[in-house]
Structure 1
Amino acid sequence: MSAASVSVINRSRQFASAILLGASLLLGTSSATFAQDSENSQSVSDQIEDLKKQVLSLNRDLLILEEELLYPANSQVAVYLSMDVGEFFELDAVKVHIDDKLVASELYTEHQVDALFRGGVQRLYLGNLKTGDHRLTAFFTGIGPQGREYKRAAEVSINKETEGKVYELKIVDSTVKLQPVFEIKEWQL
């Protein structure tokens, strides 16, 4: 994002905050000043409420603009998690590293794991990466076969170009090996 865009967003946020503060102060003053004239007071209160709504709307629009500038869709990298039946692995936690930097960490409750078993997919990470080569590493911890603690990792090299990338961390049961298998699948956009 350019410095000019950041400057515009910051000034707009300061302006929106100043308007909201002024409206709040005016609302407090208007109720004391115009207490005798309830009709006039109601009119000012309505105007202030309308102004507050406009400021909140402006703030929402600025947040959306900021996200679009910081994370353009064509340069995003998204990482999702899915699970198979889960007969050989009871998920407890997942950590995702990109280039040895922790970008996502999640501890799972019984209800979340159940949702994943029923076909749910969870987004773990959404962000931008510079073009070039990167390394995505996922660490899975939980209870494995025979009720023992189980920690495994899966890794994939990312050749980031200008378009977005989507990866799925898959936990599947291998009936041949009688243990879980951890894979990282790249989806085509």
Structure 2
Amino acid sequence: MRAPLPYRHLLRLLAASLGLCVSLAGASPPASAEPAAAAPAAAASLDERVQTLKNDLIQLNRDLLVLEEELLFPASTQVAVFVSMDVGKLFELESVQIKLGDKLVASHLYTPAEVQALHRGGVQRLYLGNLRTGTHELVAIFTGGGPHQRDYRRGATVKFDKGADPKYIELRIQDAAGKLQPEFNVKVW
């Protein structure tokens, strides 16, 4: 079960505050009788401690995000859906919708920059969620422009068995040069 958003932020704020308090508790207050030359050294020391504290907080944030993902999406129920493109000269991707069973679980409208990233070999994680073990059906609906400036709305369907291991599904858009049409393939890993 996901913790409500304010509690997660409160935990992070508490961790940051605790780290700051511990860091400052170790600092000795500056003596008023110290010469003026010692002030820059004390400021440099304080800057170093603040930088160390920032690095510790960044590492703590990374650890919390990894822990959150492990708790929300355990490997035994995890399903991830990715989108990739091969060449893509015959299809201009505009959007993708993902349905698991009869439920719409993800949809995405693509910007030209995102489409270019997919053309350069990028892979986008479109969905990450939990599924119980058993047989499931995934339906992906692709919309965009095809050859001769025609609008395309095509789907790809796959049935897969979800076991105890994580399941990864790749939605691949590629050109079928012989047919002069795009093909939409689904690969289950």
Task: Quote the offset at 1:131 in angstroms.
Answer: 1.5
Q: 8 Å contact 1:23–1:48 — kept in the other structure?
A: no
Question: Within 1, Cα distance between the matches of 2:149 and 2:164?
Answer: 44
Q: Does 1:16 align with 2:15?
A: yes
Q: Does 1:85 align with 2:84?
A: no
Deviation sequence 1:89-115 (CA, Å, 0-9, x none): 211111222233333332223343334
Secondary structure of the structure 2 residue equivalent to 1:151: strand
Question: Within 2, Cα distance between the matches of 1:21 and 1:142?
Answer: 51
TM-score, normalised to structure 1, is 0.69
Secondary structure of the structure 1 residue equivalent to 2:88: coil
Question: Within 2, Cα distance between the matches of 1:119 and 1:47?
Answer: 42
1:158 to 157, 160, 164: 160
Match of 1:126 in 2: 128
Question: Within 1, Cα distance between the matches of 2:117 and 2:53?
Answer: 43
Structure 1 residue ranges without an equivalent (≥5): 4-8
Task: Quote the offset at 1:16 in angstroms.
Answer: 0.5
Question: Within 2, Cα distance between the matches of 1:140 and 1:177?
Answer: 18
Task: Quote the offset at 1:127 in angstroms.
Answer: 2.7
| Aligned CA-pair RMSD | 3.7
Task: Quote the offset at 1:149 in angstroms.
Answer: 1.4
1:84 is aligned with what amino acid?
A: D
Q: Does 1:101 align with 2:103?
A: yes
1:166 is aligned with what amino acid?
A: Y
TM-score, normalised to structure 2, is 0.69
Stretches (4+) displaced over 6 A: 39-42
Question: Within 2, Cα distance between the matches of 1:174 and 1:107?
Answer: 24
Deviation sequence 1:5-24 (CA, Å, 0-9, x none): xxxx8996464144257579
Change (3 A) 1:34 1:123: same
Question: Within 2, Cα distance between the matches of 1:163 and 1:61?
Answer: 23
Question: Within 1, Cα distance between the matches of 2:123 and 2:54?
Answer: 38
| Of 47-56 and 111-120, the range deviating more from structure 2 | 47-56
Q: Number of aligned residue pairs: give it.
A: 177
Task: Quote the offset at 1:162 in angstroms.
Answer: 0.6
1:140 is aligned with what amino acid?
A: F
Match of 1:138 in 2: 140
Q: How many percent of aligned residue pairs carry the same amino acid?
A: 51
Q: Which protein has the bigger helix share? A: 1
Task: Quote the offset at 1:60 in angstroms.
Answer: 2.9
Q: Does 1:170 align with 2:172?
A: yes
Deviation sequence 1:52-94 (CA, Å, 0-9, x none): 5444433432322222222234542221222233343211111
Question: Within 1, Cα distance between the matches of 2:146 and 2:55?
Answer: 53
